[in-house]
Structure 1
Amino acid sequence: MTMNKRASEKTVRFTLYILCVLLIASAGCIQPAQETGTMNLQLDVFPNPVYMGETTSLTATLENNAKKTYRNIKIEVFDPGQFGAINCPSLSKRELKPFGVADLTCSFRAPMIDKERVVYLGVSASFDSSLNAVQPVEIISEEEKKRREMTGKMESKPRIYSYEDESISLTIEFSENLPIVARPTEQYVYFTIKNKGDGLAKINSFRVSGLPMQCDIPNEFEPIKDEFQKIACKLSPRNVNYLSVYNIIVNIDYTYEITRTIPVTIRK
């Protein structure tokens, strides 16, 4: 009898738990965490639902789950929906260190309505970061190439290399397999930047050094879908009598913005 009673109590508790989960999900109080790489922006509104003429509070939490520090953090409401803002300043921080958290809290007054409706609050979070890459490049003379081929020591290496962080990726593509053979014909290296997250990337600067080359770097980077225009650099190896080893160093500074929305029910 006691065992049946305990089993019945467990069944009741489980049923109540399921009902609570369904209630929270239908009310939309907490938006499920969504991640852009390792920057996580979560929205919470309480109370939700809210009655017309009353106030509700929005909390936007930005979590840095990476092992790197992000700079120039900004969180703001970009779409207040039909709410009137009572107190909603944007939040700015100089940096957000690894596993750090930044919170923005706003208060809104629900508008007067003729019937129940669902409106959406929109929040954006932006931050600055950098992607750095170092690509070793071996350049040999034509005589060295022949010598290696004769001795069976000519090893061909791939011509495409990729680097990435949590938000963007960089592809370095040479016009031929490595090592590069110094010859009169023109040889190139191409750089392609892609947005790999679900936010918007803005390239602030692109710098490349370490190897003599002439690059056509655009003043502004315009993305087509998730890919920015390709950068072409003409290689200019000099005075290669035997072999030379270089490091192509690439520095990309960018701003990344993520946006989230959360539904809020307004009742009459």
Structure 2
Amino acid sequence: MIMNKRASEKTVRFTLYILCVLLIASAGCIQPAQETGTMNLQLDVFPNPVYMGETTSLTATLENNAKKTYRNIKIEVFDPGQFGAINCPSLSKRELKPFGVADLTCSFRAPMIDKERVVYLGVSASFDSSLNAVQPVEIISEEEKKRREMTGKMESKPRIYSYEDESISLTIEFSENLPIVARPTEQYVYFTIKNKGDGLAKINSFRVSGLPMQCDIPNEFEPIKDEFQKIACKLSPRNVNYLSVDNIIVNIDYTYEITRTIPVTIRK
């Protein structure tokens, strides 16, 4: 009688699962996709609920909905909860092209329990990417500045500029409004990197070139909340007789990690 009841419950669960998939329902059958910029990580467990001592399968799907290729993809279970992993190797891919998909499938055995409980499986997905910025900078001589002021043609441009991708942002802030005037007084430019997604960002390298400058770049970037330490660079503009246009070129390589959890019900 008990065996028939359990078999009947399994049949009902399977039927509900199929209907849930076909109707894309949100009744706890499949966890809705959660988005970090344009990288989506979705978790699915079947069967769920699962009986103690039985096996359930987890599928983690990473979707790249961007128009860029991400590198060094890795998906792994970082928290198996109270489950014992039967087969759960991490998934590694060299790259994930635009609109590509990467899947990790794992099997778990439900532990023996004294009463029904809900446990959580945790999955992480990491990838490498780059944020590149080219900021044009106009440089004028002091004589040209005076000439423009006398003729009423001295127009100041903003001193703060921003660049971003799906995961991080970069702010370039000059100590004075542009254009830069080539003169002996010290002038600076500051770079601030922020995490704009809901994952964890790790800055692997920061490179700046183009306009001559002396920068104090940290060996390691330590975030405070969502913002990394500010980078200060002393500008060394070339001597100009009239005016010139130079570029500040910034290249940031980083690793980004997103994590998701999904609840699983274990029954006796």
Q: Tell me whether the two structures share a fold, i.e. TM-score over 0.5.
A: yes
Deviation at 1:30, TM superposition (A): 1.1
Structure 1 residues 79-88 or 241-250, which shifts more?
241-250
- C-alpha displacement at 1:152, in angstroms? 1.5
Deviation at 1:240?
1.5
More deviation, 102-111/11-20: 11-20
> The residue matched to 1:8 in structure 2 has which SS?
helix
Aligned in 2, Cα 1:15/1:258: closer, same or farther, shift over 3 Å? closer
Displacement over 2 Å in runs of 4+: 1-29
Q: Which residue of 2 aligns with 1:135?
A: 135
Cα drift, residue 23 of structure 1 = 12
Deviation for aligned residue 1:159: 0.3
Deviation digits for residues 175-218 of structure 1 (CA, Å, limit 9, x no counterpart)? 00000111111000000000000000000000000001000000
Q: Distance in 1 between matches of 2:173 and 2:233?
A: 10
Deviations 1:113-163 (A, max 9, x none): 000000000000000000000000001111000111111211110000000
Q: Are the counterparts in 1 of residues 206 and 252 from structure 2 also a CA contact under 8 Å?
A: yes
Deviations 1:69-110 (A, max 9, x none): 000000000000000000000000000000000000000000
Instruction: Kindly provide the CA deviation profile for residues 208-260 of structure 1, in whole angstroms up to 9, marking residues without a partner as x.
Output: 00001000000000000000000000001122221121010000000000000
Q: Displacement, 1:173?
A: 0.2
**2: distance between equivalents of 1:46 and 1:217?**
48
Contact 1:73 1:126 in 2 (8 A): yes
% identity of equivalent residues: 99
CA distance in structure 1 between the aligned counterparts of 2:72 and 2:15, rounded to whole angstroms: 47
- The answer to whether the Cα contact below 8 Å between 1:29 and 1:47 also exists between their aligned partners in 2 is no
Moved more, 59-68 or 146-155: 146-155
Structure 2 runs not aligned, ≥5 long: none
Structure 1 residue 53 displacement after superposition: 0.3
Residue aligning to 2:223: 223
Distance 1:185 1:140 in 2: 14
- Provide TM-score, normalisation by structure 1: 0.91
Q: CA RMSD in A?
A: 7.2
> C-alpha distance in 1, partners of 2:254/2:264?
33
Alpha-carbon contact 1:50-1:56 (below 8 Å) kept: yes
